[in-house]
Amino acid sequence: MVTRNLTLTTAILTALNLPILASAQSAATQLDEIMVTAQKRTQSFGDVGIAVSVLSGEDVRSLGFTQLKDVAAQTPNVQIKEVVANSVPNVTIRGVGLNDYAANNNPAAGIYVDDVYLVSPTMLSFGLFDLDRIEVLKGPQGTLFGRNTTAGTVNFYSRKPTAELEGYVSLDYGRYDRAMLEAAIGGPLGDRVQGRLAVQSVQQGSGWQINRLNGDRVGEVDRTAGRVQLAWTVGDAVTVRLGVHAGNDQSDVALIKIDNPFTPEDDGETNPFRSGASVPTRMDLEARGAYLGIDWAISETLTLNSVTGYEDFSRMHVEDRDAASLEQLDGYFANDIEQFSEELRLTRLGDRLVLIGGVFYGTDSVETRDRFDSRDLLPLFGLAGMASIGNEYDQDTTSKAVFVHSEWKLTPDWKLTAGARYTDEQKEFRNAFTYLITTGGTEIQIFPPVARDFDSQDVSGRIGLDYSGWADTLLYASVSRGFKSGGFQGQLTFDPSGLQPFDDETLIAWEVGLKTRRLGNTLQFNASAFYYDYQDLQFYGGLFDSPVGTLFGIANVGDAEVKGAEVDLWWRPAAGLDLRLGVGLLDTEVTRSVVPGVTRGSELPNSPEMTLNGLIRYQWPLTGNLTAEMQLAANYQGDVTFDTVRNPPVASESGYWLADARIGIGAQDGRWNLAAWCRNLADERYRTQVTFSSVGYGESVGPPRTYGVNLTFRL
């Protein structure tokens, strides 16, 4: 299938190489220039030989994106699924991801907010507000980004302070009593100082799930976040940027659907939005952090950049994984995470040679105590008199790296890019044990606390060749090596040997691509094809046996191959009319397996063979000073497997379409806008995740149709 579509893609590229249409295009139909920082400096999108998907802040607003998981809807070959109910997002890019709920393992895709890397998947449920853009970089990016990853990176950039006064207030109200307030204001605070303040609060009084045990609706949202930024120009050469943020989330934890074999309570229940919970499911997330950026223009060609980041995060997550009145798997997950990072870069911009060199240093500490109240389950496995089972651990990580990136213009049309990064990462896993709690409240450690160390040293890099000899076109080819360091599983185990570290995984990526603007700068067309040699892949799943059944964990399960292609376009055929289309094709296969349960030839989790996304947006003038707008967005996900261990049929989901719509009116000068919106127009029923446990396969379901109105005022 991939081969046929690659042939079609090649034919399209050939056709698009026709000369630009001679007819003049009006300025109103010209596409805006897209600027990105994918190579740690501001460049035009069409000059960067990397597969990048970009969403502007206006895209985020009009599409109604509020969290990281929403980004996948308009990004080819990207899947973002929440591993545990409605928290702990797993980002899978081109089939490379990690379905882990533990707080101590780094994501396969690096997530950065204002150039600060977030070390744990538990930290990724943050809200999206007052953004300038989102950049999704696909494939290994180890040469220039602070931590080692194999899948790629997702970079969020907030709107920065401006020299002119600007701001807005946006009010949103929708189904299930959902209200959202977002506001920002920024501008000069003095001759050399600018500031910006942004806040968002989301409150939802009801929910689309029903707890069948008491009839209560589940889905209340209570999430608030704020950000303050300052920019200070010191003399003529130095700019200092400071950002401070904080947020909390005390929302309901979504119910899990499960066919529990130990009780008939859910027999005959066909409503996907009805399930059981014997405990109040909830979350309590607290996040605080800051970054300090210093940019020093030493000369016209030499710049020194420093980015210092600090994050402090705490989490309590309560869920009922048995979905019944029984006390079998009532989960309590508690985490405290603190991290610090420093990156220093020296950039030289020459006419023919660009050099970027730097160092990175990061530390983080993770403290975890998980507990499953299971007084109705443990006796069935010979553990009479026991009420709970859990695990505890501390982990400290130190990551150090030195890197260099170069771009050498061989001729006016040819450019060679090369880069390398040496990484030294050390992990200390301490105070790790599994425990039981008796019905009388006494805690019993199953084995003495374990202490382990893991050290990893690796060299990653990239070589690329760009050709820009055709008008408004970039052709690029590259080979890159990425790695993700090993570590320790953060789940239950009855055998302390199960706390031995797993090893690094590595990925060699071969890629060719094209970026071009055609039809008088009214059409942006991008395409890429890639092949990954994926070795010692880290796999999370039900890989281990125990006295209480199959337990989850991480191991290096073998090797895999990933082949695929992507096409996306942006076309403005008339003033006010924007058309966007994205196609992602994937073929993943486990080529070598060294663990039971993972079969050679299996596809990788969260890797549908096809993803599609599209958007139509039209804005036109009305009488007087009014304009109207209409937007329709849709995305398709093909058949997907959530769990490749033993390939259970229940852990597969058929392909489905989702569509959203928005229509509104506003002032021509943009001062105000009133819009009505609807998401999941067709009221599609679909599952977003399936996770195995000792009481069966827990299913998370997507939300039904929602709708509402939005009113925005701008200065």
Strand-pair category, 414-438 with 450-467:
antiparallel
Q: Where are the domains of the chain?
A: 2-17+30-341+371-714
User: Domain 2-17+30-341+371-714, CATH 2.40.170.20 — does that match?
Assistant: yes
- Amino acid 711: pLDDT: 98
- Average model confidence (pLDDT) for the chain? 93
Handedness of CA 14, 15, 19, 20 (dihedral sign): negative
The model's confidence at residue 2, banded by pLDDT at 50, 70 and 90, is: very low
Collapsing DSSP to helix, strand or coil, 60 comes out as helix
The model's confidence at residue 3, banded by pLDDT at 50, 70 and 90, is: very low
> pLDDT (tens digit, 9 = 90+) per residue, 168-197?
999 999 999 999 999 999 999 999 999 999
Residue 436 contacts residue 374 (beta carbons within 8 Å): no
Residue 244 contacts residue 230 (beta carbons within 8 Å): no
- Amino acid 537: pLDDT: 95
Q: What is the DSSP letter of 29?
A: G
Residue 549 contacts residue 531 (beta carbons within 8 Å): no
For residue 623, the surrounding DSSP H or E stretch is none
> pLDDT (tens digit, 9 = 90+) per residue, 226-243?
999 999 999 899 999 999
Average pLDDT of the segment spanning 627-655: 94
Q: On the CB side of 683, how many CA atoms lie within 13 Å of its CA? A: 4
Residue 195 contacts residue 189 (beta carbons within 8 Å): yes
Q: Which strands form 274-275's sheet, in the order they lie side by side?
A: 217-218, 209-211, 274-275
Q: Pull the structure tokens for residue 432.
A: 């790790």
- Amino acid 152: pLDDT: 94
* Torsion angle of C-alpha atoms 24, 29, 33, 34, degrees rounded to 10: -140
Using alpha carbons, select from 39, 61, 63 the residue that is nearest to residue 49: 39
- Amino acid 552: pLDDT: 81
- Amino acid 146: pLDDT: 66
Residues with Cβ within 8 Å of residue 620, at least 6 apart in sequence = 576, 627, 628
Residue 108 contacts residue 504 (beta carbons within 8 Å): no
Q: How far is CA 94 from CA 72, 122, 303, in A?
A: 12, 22, 34
- Amino acid 144: pLDDT: 86
For the cut 80, the answer to whether the pLDDT of residue 23 exceeds it is no
SS (H, E, C) 218-252: ECCEEEEEEEEEEEEEECCCEEEEEEEEEEEECCC
The model's confidence at residue 11, banded by pLDDT at 50, 70 and 90, is: very low
The model's confidence at residue 26, banded by pLDDT at 50, 70 and 90, is: low
Question: Who has greater pLDDT, 678 or 28?
Answer: 678
The model's confidence at residue 624, banded by pLDDT at 50, 70 and 90, is: confident
Residue 525: left (phi > 0), alpha (psi -120 to 50), or beta? Answer: beta
> pLDDT (tens digit, 9 = 90+) per residue, 44-87?
999 999 999 999 999 999 999 999 999 999 999 999 999 888 88
Average pLDDT of the segment spanning 292-300: 97
For the cut 50, the answer to whether the pLDDT of residue 6 exceeds it is no
- Amino acid 546: pLDDT: 78
For the cut 90, the answer to whether the pLDDT of residue 12 exceeds it is no
In whole angstroms, what is the distance from residue 655 CA to residue 651 CA?
13
For the cut 70, the answer to whether the pLDDT of residue 25 exceeds it is no
Percent of the chain at pLDDT > 70 equals 96
In whole angstroms, what is the distance from residue 319 CA to residue 326 CA?
13
* Torsion angle of C-alpha atoms 108, 135, 65, 629, degrees rounded to 10: -160
Question: Who has greater pLDDT, 603 or 645?
Answer: 603
Average pLDDT of the segment spanning 133-160: 90
> pLDDT (tens digit, 9 = 90+) per residue, 497-506?
889 999 999 9
> pLDDT (tens digit, 9 = 90+) per residue, 304-344?
999 999 999 999 999 999 999 999 999 999 999 999 999 99
Strand-pair category, 523-535 with 558-574:
antiparallel
- Length in residues, the chain: 715
For the cut 80, the answer to whether the pLDDT of residue 377 exceeds it is yes
- Amino acid 142: pLDDT: 73
